[in-house]
Amino acid sequence: MQLIPVVALALECPVPPVQANKDWNSQVKAEVGKIGPVTGARLETRVRNTTHDLMGKLPNADRVYLEQMMFSAYCTALRGDKALSESAKAKQILNYRRELNRSLASGKGANSKQPGH
Protein backbone atom coordinates (compact mmCIF):
# COMPACT_ATOMS: atom_id res chain seq x y z
CA MET A 1 0.00 0.00 0.00
CA GLN A 2 1.39 3.35 -1.06
CA LEU A 3 0.61 6.45 0.97
CA ILE A 4 -0.07 9.66 -0.85
CA PRO A 5 0.98 12.77 1.04
CA VAL A 6 -1.79 15.28 1.65
CA VAL A 7 -0.78 18.90 1.47
CA ALA A 8 -3.01 21.45 3.14
CA LEU A 9 -3.47 24.39 0.84
CA ALA A 10 -2.97 27.76 2.46
CA LEU A 11 -5.66 30.36 2.08
CA GLU A 12 -4.85 32.61 -0.88
CA CYS A 13 -6.03 36.18 -0.50
CA PRO A 14 -6.45 38.80 -3.20
CA VAL A 15 -4.21 41.84 -2.96
CA PRO A 16 -5.87 45.19 -2.29
CA PRO A 17 -6.70 47.14 -5.45
CA VAL A 18 -3.73 49.18 -6.64
CA GLN A 19 -5.80 52.28 -7.37
CA ALA A 20 -6.79 52.49 -3.71
CA ASN A 21 -5.47 55.34 -1.63
CA LYS A 22 -2.89 54.11 0.93
CA ASP A 23 -4.66 55.97 3.74
CA TRP A 24 -7.89 54.17 2.82
CA ASN A 25 -6.07 50.86 2.81
CA SER A 26 -4.76 51.51 6.33
CA GLN A 27 -8.21 52.51 7.59
CA VAL A 28 -9.82 49.45 6.03
CA LYS A 29 -7.22 47.08 7.49
CA ALA A 30 -7.64 48.60 10.95
CA GLU A 31 -11.44 48.45 10.91
CA VAL A 32 -11.75 45.02 9.29
CA GLY A 33 -9.12 43.59 11.62
CA LYS A 34 -11.53 44.21 14.50
CA ILE A 35 -14.14 41.81 13.06
CA GLY A 36 -12.26 38.61 13.85
CA PRO A 37 -13.37 35.03 13.19
CA VAL A 38 -16.92 35.37 14.54
CA THR A 39 -19.96 33.60 13.12
CA GLY A 40 -23.70 33.96 12.80
CA ALA A 41 -25.40 37.12 13.99
CA ARG A 42 -22.16 38.52 15.43
CA LEU A 43 -20.50 38.30 12.01
CA GLU A 44 -23.50 39.93 10.33
CA THR A 45 -23.56 42.78 12.86
CA ARG A 46 -19.82 43.42 12.78
CA VAL A 47 -19.63 43.36 8.97
CA ARG A 48 -22.65 45.67 8.66
CA ASN A 49 -21.27 48.13 11.23
CA THR A 50 -17.76 48.09 9.77
CA THR A 51 -19.06 48.56 6.23
CA HIS A 52 -21.29 51.44 7.33
CA ASP A 53 -18.43 53.08 9.25
CA LEU A 54 -16.01 52.74 6.34
CA MET A 55 -18.53 54.08 3.84
CA GLY A 56 -18.93 57.12 6.08
CA LYS A 57 -15.18 57.61 6.49
CA LEU A 58 -14.41 57.01 2.81
CA PRO A 59 -17.33 58.71 1.04
CA ASN A 60 -15.50 58.93 -2.27
CA ALA A 61 -14.42 55.31 -2.37
CA ASP A 62 -16.06 53.33 -5.14
CA ARG A 63 -18.12 50.45 -3.74
CA VAL A 64 -16.17 47.89 -5.76
CA TYR A 65 -12.84 49.13 -4.44
CA LEU A 66 -14.16 49.24 -0.90
CA GLU A 67 -15.42 45.67 -1.25
CA GLN A 68 -12.06 44.51 -2.62
CA MET A 69 -10.13 46.29 0.11
CA MET A 70 -12.35 44.90 2.87
CA PHE A 71 -12.24 41.35 1.52
CA SER A 72 -8.48 41.42 1.05
CA ALA A 73 -7.94 42.79 4.57
CA TYR A 74 -10.24 40.23 6.20
CA CYS A 75 -8.77 37.32 4.27
CA THR A 76 -5.23 38.37 5.15
CA ALA A 77 -6.08 38.74 8.84
CA LEU A 78 -7.85 35.38 8.90
CA ARG A 79 -5.02 33.65 7.04
CA GLY A 80 -2.66 34.46 9.90
CA ASP A 81 -4.96 32.95 12.55
CA LYS A 82 -3.18 29.78 13.72
CA ALA A 83 -6.14 28.69 15.87
CA LEU A 84 -8.35 27.95 12.84
CA SER A 85 -7.98 25.03 10.47
CA GLU A 86 -7.80 25.72 6.74
CA SER A 87 -11.31 24.37 6.26
CA ALA A 88 -12.61 26.61 9.07
CA LYS A 89 -10.89 29.59 7.44
CA ALA A 90 -12.46 28.75 4.08
CA LYS A 91 -15.90 28.53 5.67
CA GLN A 92 -15.34 31.80 7.53
CA ILE A 93 -14.27 33.52 4.29
CA LEU A 94 -17.45 32.34 2.55
CA ASN A 95 -19.58 33.62 5.42
CA TYR A 96 -17.72 36.93 5.46
CA ARG A 97 -18.10 37.36 1.69
CA ARG A 98 -21.84 36.72 1.93
CA GLU A 99 -22.26 39.23 4.76
CA LEU A 100 -20.06 41.82 3.05
CA ASN A 101 -22.06 41.57 -0.18
CA ARG A 102 -25.33 41.78 1.75
CA SER A 103 -24.11 44.78 3.73
CA LEU A 104 -22.91 46.64 0.65
CA ALA A 105 -26.10 45.84 -1.27
CA SER A 106 -28.33 47.09 1.56
CA GLY A 107 -26.66 50.49 1.44
CA LYS A 108 -26.82 52.87 -1.46
CA GLY A 109 -23.08 52.48 -2.09
CA ALA A 110 -20.19 54.67 -1.05
CA ASN A 111 -20.89 57.29 -3.67
CA SER A 112 -24.36 57.96 -2.25
CA LYS A 113 -22.67 59.72 0.68
CA GLN A 114 -21.29 62.43 -1.60
CA PRO A 115 -22.96 65.84 -1.33
CA GLY A 116 -25.48 66.40 -4.07
CA HIS A 117 -26.01 62.68 -4.80
The overall average pLDDT reported for the chain is: 78
**Predicted confidence (pLDDT) per residue in 18-27, tens digit:** 665 677 778 8
- Domain membership flag for residue 4: no
C-alpha–C-alpha distance, residues 63 and 100, integer Å: 11
* Closest to 9 measured CA to CA, from 83, 73, 72, 79: 79
- Domain membership flag for residue 2: no
- Domain membership flag for residue 98: yes
**For the chain, how many helices (H) and strands (E)?**
4, 0
- Domain membership flag for residue 81: yes
- Domain membership flag for residue 13: no
pLDDT in tens, the chain (117 residues): 555 444 445 678 877 776 656 777 788 888 988 888 888 889 999 999 998 888 888 777 778 888 888 998 999 888 888 898 989 998 999 999 999 999 888 865 444 443 333
- Domain membership flag for residue 9: no
- Domain membership flag for residue 41: yes
Which range of residues forms the domain containing residue 54?
Answer: 22-111
Contact indicator for 86, 9 with CB cutoff of 8 Å: yes
Q: The pTM is what?
A: 0.71
pLDDT (0 to 100) of residue 33: 87
* Closest to 47 measured CA to CA, from 3, 6, 87, 106: 106
The total number of structural domains that make up the chain: 1
pLDDT (0 to 100) of residue 21: 67
pLDDT (0 to 100) of residue 99: 92
- Domain membership flag for residue 94: yes
pLDDT (0 to 100) of residue 46: 92
